[in-house]
Amino acid sequence: MYTVRMNNLVALCAVGAEKILGNEIKLLGYKLAGNAPGRVFFTGDDDALFRANLCLRTADRVYLEMARYHAEDFDQLFDGVYSVAWQDFLKKDSKVVVDKVRTYKSRLNSEHAVQGIVQKAIYKKLGDVWRMSSLPESGEQSDIRVFITEDEAQICLDLSGLPLHKRGYRTDGGVAPLRGTTASVMLQLMLWRRKTPLHDPFCGSGTLPIEACLYAHNVAPGFGRRFAIENLPIFNANRAHEIKCAEAEKIRTDVECRITGTDIDPSAIQRARTNAEHACVMAGRALQMIGSDARIERPDFDVSDFKDLHAPYENGLIICNPPYGERLGEEEQAKQLYRDMASLFTDFPNWEIGVITSNKHFQECIAHYATTLKDLKAGNLDTTFYMYNGTEKEKKGRAEGKGGDWNRKPNRSKFNSNRGKKEWR
């Protein structure tokens, strides 16, 4: 009999994406319990420990909250950690690492000292319970993260392992690849729907089109990888397989999408095609678990300069991650690129446009001011997502259903270069 209990969980995300992640969590059926910058708190049953890792598109990591309590000094910090039944969550050969500590407006503000006390308390508890003077630490690593905010300590056990943006399909990201989680946040912020044509004119290794493809076909992003929870004694392999099968049943293979990407670099296009194939094979293997040999269509990629493109439909979405000019000597090149990108508003006149960049001169260079701006911070990089939603007349036309023929099957493998502009159908 599978026992159902409720757990407190923490999902990390890019700072600025908390609302998007919260909506995802609610759609999975779990109850939100608040948020902080880059963190969303929620409660879920035992299934949530695995399912959240498998299904959340915009989360960077998922943690199980082990304890939350007031801690003004190291004695209180130690006692709170020691009180946790760590023997139920860790194996005798586990290597415990307190990987990060975050403190804010707290008396305990030495991250290094906090790391040492927390690790000492965990090993002390395990040694006392198992009557061992020392632990072998020869097994899998288990990571602990500590947040201390205004003297309230939150002790968390990592359930993800590798960051969740590492989906498992990307074998080669090229230079400065976009995170899959960031791409998913961008798609959600633009309110993209699968029937809307989507194109990335700076597709690089294909992350944006691939994430759009997985979203459009309702493929859980974690099918191609393992998670840290699978190394813990609380992991129920049979139940995890049932969860995977249930999510595989939700994959849509009956939808037609117009998802494309171009890049001026032929090697980038080859990477994008390879990564897309891996992602779609991942989806195919998930379908095989439920006895289906169906497949999902791959995004279409081609070599092209964005200045040579022409809108193939009246309405659609351009979404991209152009070079930022972060490296020495590249900023002027980036500014010129942004000036040239103004042609997108002419060549795709009724399309919505979304651009992410850390370059503060973007709007000045492109000479178009975004309808909406959203600051996103992932890791150490501060970026802004510029969203251009079109005129009120164009919005009215979309609402009335004007535009391309959604029922016509597109030619997904060829681009048309009539009239000097490349056009995909």
**Residues 205-218: tens digit of each pLDDT:** 999 999 999 999 99
pLDDT per residue as tens digits for the range 272-323: 999 999 999 999 999 999 999 999 999 999 999 999 999 999 999 999 999 8
Position 348 scores a pLDDT of: 96
pLDDT per residue as tens digits for the range 17-52: 999 999 999 999 999 999 999 999 999 999 999 999
Instruction: Work out the pLDDT band at 5, boundaries 50, 70, 90.
Output: confident
The residue behind tokens 């030495």 is 110
Position 73 scores a pLDDT of: 98
The CA-atom distances, in angstroms, between 212 and each of 48, 187, 262, 298, 323 are 24, 7, 15, 11, 20
The CA-atom distances, in angstroms, between 308 and each of 201, 262, 303, 338 are 10, 10, 10, 15
Could you tell me the two tokens for 4?
């159902």
Domains 7-158 and 180-424 in one fold: no
Q: What's the CA gap between 284 and 293, in Å, rounded?
A: 7
- The yes-or-no verdict on residue 396 having pLDDT over 70 is no
- Has this prediction a pTM greater than 0.75? yes
Position 4 scores a pLDDT of: 59
pLDDT per residue as tens digits for the range 82-129: 999 999 999 999 999 999 999 999 999 999 999 999 999 999 999 999
- The yes-or-no verdict on residue 424 having pLDDT over 80 is no
CATH number belonging to domain 7-158: 3.30.2130.30
Cβ–Cβ contacts within 10 Å for residue 176, how many? 13
Q: What is the dihedral of CA 157, 55, 358, 265, to 10 degrees?
A: 130
* Average pLDDT estimate for 370-398: 76
* Average pLDDT estimate for 326-335: 76
* Average pLDDT estimate for 150-178: 90
342 neighbors 368 (Cβ within 8 angstroms): yes
Domain spans, the chain? 7-158, 180-424
Q: How far is CA 241 from the centre of its chain?
A: 23
Asked if the 180-424 domain carries CATH number 3.40.50.300, the reply is no
* Torsion angles phi and psi, residue 324, rounded to 5: -90, -20
> How much is the mean pLDDT over the chain?
90
Q: How far is CA 88 from the centre of its chain?
A: 30
Position 170 scores a pLDDT of: 85
E strand or H helix at 378, and its extent? Answer: strand 372-378
